[in-house]
Structure formats: structure tokens, C-alpha cells
Structure 1
Amino acid sequence: MFRAFDLLLIGMMVVAATITYQIKHRADEKLQEVRRLQAEIKLERDTIELLKADWALLSQPNRLRKLVEAYNDELKLEPTQPTQLARPSELPMLRSQAPQPEVAEGAAGGEGRPNSVFGTVIGGIAIPALRPDTMTTGSVNR
């Protein structure tokens, strides 16, 4: 009986050693795959940096001007006129032509006088009557 128990323990140790070896082997394979993927990522990042440097070199205005001058006869390129980008009727109106909001009477709860900062109150939210870029601030003299 003692021998059967020894054989059983030896068998269990062999099985445990085999399973441990398989787990270690799989972990080593995964580690190699991670290292391979990291190398690929580094290569891609280096390639992206190289392509950005190439793009910066190729899109330099001086280089493009020289190419335009060299191939002007074949391409027949002309400088872009401002009117080609947008017609004056397509441009937004000037600030001086923009409609001014009406100033509500007593919007700030004052004695029925117009408030120069808040034009109207809608749902408890004060809407400015003056645009922030047109407001002036005072200064303190020392």
C-alpha cells in the first residue's frame, strides 16, 4: 500500500510539473508577442515622425514657390485673387451694421431706468445688451 501511495504522489508531481511547464511556456510566448507588438508600435511611431518631417520639408513655401516658377509654363498657375475666395456679398456684416439688442427698462431691478450691461432677462438669465468686446472698463489712478 505504501508503494501505491508513492506511485500516486510521483504521478501527481509529474502532472503538476507538466502543467507548470506548459503555463511557463505560454507566458514566455505571450511575453515574446508583447515585445514584438511593442517593436511594431515603436516602428510605426518612428515612421509617423519621419513622415511629419517629410511633410514639413515638402510643404515649405520657398520650395513650393520654386516649383511653381519651374513648372509655370506647363501648369499655367496664377496667384489667387481675394475675390476668388469669397464675394463681398458673401462676407458677414460689419459690427457697426449688426442689429443692436434693445435695452429693457429696469432689467437689473433698478428704478425703471435702463441698465447698460444687461439688456433683457429671459428665464432668469441676463442677456448682455453690450457685447463684451465693446465694453470699456475704468482704471484706478494711484
Structure 2
Amino acid sequence: MFRTTDILLIAVMVAAAAFTYKTKGAAEDQLAAVRQIERQIRLEEETIDLLKADWSLLTQPVRLQKLAEVYQTELNLQPLLPEQIVEARDIPIKPVDEDDPGSPDAVAKGTKDATVTGSTTQ
């Protein structure tokens, strides 16, 4: 009737079919997850586009000028004078405090920084 090899081959065939079915199910689940992520990405991109459009409307110079005029007294806004605009070289350099362990010079000299962090090494 059935030989041992026949039974063994039938068992291998059933195992292969079960493995194929399981693999197909896992692949379909992964595909569904990828499609869900793609939908979320599209939604986020649309939200970003909408927010960019809102931002461009809210930051229009004409609108901001009207708001500045309406709230002039509350904000105590003054027009910018040309003398107020300087270049980076015109800003004075902050003096170095040698007692400050966090200053760049102290760190370069190898002094220990007193800042406590979550690090386990000292």
C-alpha cells in the first residue's frame, strides 16, 4: 500500500505547503503595514503643505504691518532707526572670566567642568 518513502514525501509536501501559507500570510501582513505607513506619510505631507500655506498667509508683510499698527500702543513698537543696525565686528567681545570652569579657555586648559550630567564616567 503506502511505503515509508511515500508517507515521508507526503509529510514533506504538507510541511512545505504550511510553510508557504505562513510565509504568504506574513508577507501580506507586512504589505498592509507598509501601506498604512505610506498613508500616514501622505497625511503628514498634506498637513505640512497646509501648515506652510497657513504660515505664508500669516506672515504676509501687509498683514503684519496692519497688526503692528493696530497694536502699536500695547506693544510700544518703534520704527527701527539706521543707527540700530550694526555688523558682527561692532559687537564687543565678552571678557573671559578665568574663575568660570565652563569657559572655553578653562576647558582648553584641561580644567574639570563642574557640570553634572547623567554620565557614568568621570
**Same-fold status (TM-score > 0.5):** yes
For residues 60 and 76 of structure 1, the distance between their equivalents in structure 2, rounded to whole angstroms, comes to 21
Q: Which residues of structure 1 form unaligned runs of 5+?
A: 91-142
For residues 80 and 51 of structure 1, the distance between their equivalents in structure 2, rounded to whole angstroms, comes to 30
Q: Which residues of structure 2 form unaligned runs of 5+?
A: 91-122
- Equivalent residue for 1:25? 25
Residues 68-127 of structure 1: per-residue CA shift (max 9 Å, x gap): 11111110101111111127x95xxxxxxxxxxxxxxxxxxxxxxxxxxxxxxxxxxxxx
List, as ranges, runs of 4+ consecutive aligned residues in structure 1 with deviation greater than 2 Å. Answer: 1-6
* Alpha-carbon shift at residue 5 of structure 1 (Å): 2.3
* Alpha-carbon shift at residue 64 of structure 1 (Å): 0.6
For residues 47 and 82 of structure 1, the distance between their equivalents in structure 2, rounded to whole angstroms, comes to 40
Share of identical aligned residues, percent?
A: 51
Query: TM-score normalised to the size of structure 1?
Result: 0.57
SS at match of 2:3: helix
Give the residue type in structure 1 aligned to 2:49: E
The structure richer in helix per residue is: 2
- Equivalent residue for 1:56? 56
Query: TM-score normalised to the size of structure 2?
Result: 0.66
Residues 12-68 of structure 1: per-residue CA shift (max 9 Å, x gap): 111001100111011101111111111111111111111110110000011111111
Give the residue type in structure 2 aligned to 1:19: F
Aligned length: 89
Answer with 1 or 2: which has the greater Rg: 1
- Higher relative CO (Cα under 8 Å, sequence separation at least 6) belongs to 1
For residues 66 and 52 of structure 2, the distance between their equivalents in structure 1, rounded to whole angstroms, comes to 21
Give the residue type in structure 2 aligned to 1:44: E
Indicate yes or no: 2:37 matched with 1:37: yes
For residues 25 and 42 of structure 2, the distance between their equivalents in structure 1, rounded to whole angstroms, comes to 26
